[in-house]
Amino acid sequence: MPTLPWTVPNTPPQHTEVHVMASRFETRTLWGALRFFARTPGVWRQVGKAPGAYGASLKAAPLRRTFWTVSAWESPAALKEFARSGPHAPAAGGLRHQMKDAKFLTWKTSADELPLDWAQVLRRFD
């Protein structure tokens, strides 16, 4: 299962509260999964430069047509700005009709808990 490792665009201050967003996407078809993969590099570059981004990772099960993301942010506003700008906005809009299912989770944690553990993130989706 391909995983993009946790990347840290901006180092959070220790003992700071961070806002976490996790998502699970299932595409309708393998073609949809390929389209998701094709748009990933641009969005990944955007994450790497995003103000307020404290970390992100992506896990993919392309033959199951399922993708998970997890990211940590300085604030909900920083996450919202990321989602509505750069390559992410057109990628999300362009893939919307390819999705069979999408689920989003948010929670708060301490910067001291970063990087987030994939096993713990996936348990939250159960």
* 3-state SS record for 27-53: ECCHHHHHHHHHHHHHHHHHHHHCCCE
CA count, 13 A, side-chain hemisphere, 33: 16
pTM of the model: 0.93
Please report, for the domain that includes residue 81, its CATH number.
3.30.70.100
Could you tell me the residue range of the domain that residue 55 belongs to?
Answer: 3-125
Q: What is the mean pLDDT of residues 49-54?
A: 97
The predicted-structure confidence for 68-121, as pLDDT tens digits, reads as follows: 999 999 999 999 999 999 999 998 888 888 899 999 999 999 999 999 999 999
| Number of domains comprising the chain | 1
